Amino acid sequence: MWKVVVVMCALGNPCMIMEEDPMKYYTTKSECMANASAKHNLLLDAYSTYGYIVDESTFTCEKVDGLTNS
């Protein structure tokens, strides 16, 4: 299983590591990365809307061992 991780670094603020809440798990990395990309874009738009300048940002998916999709 995979989970989404997005990191946003706005000027003048510490970098934020974000995960979905409530946590969602995906069965494939490609499904997870598609969702991570969409969430990353939504966050970039939100930061811009509220006047933050994003210096760096990235997204990825982390493998979570010990979970099954049953």
Give which of 27, 28, 38, 33 is closest to 4, Cα–Cα: 33
Percent of the chain with pLDDT over 70: 97
Q: Which of 7-11, 45-49, 51-55, 63-67 has the lowest mean pLDDT?
A: 63-67
What is the pLDDT of the chain when averaged over all its residues? 95
> Which pLDDT belongs to residue 69?
64
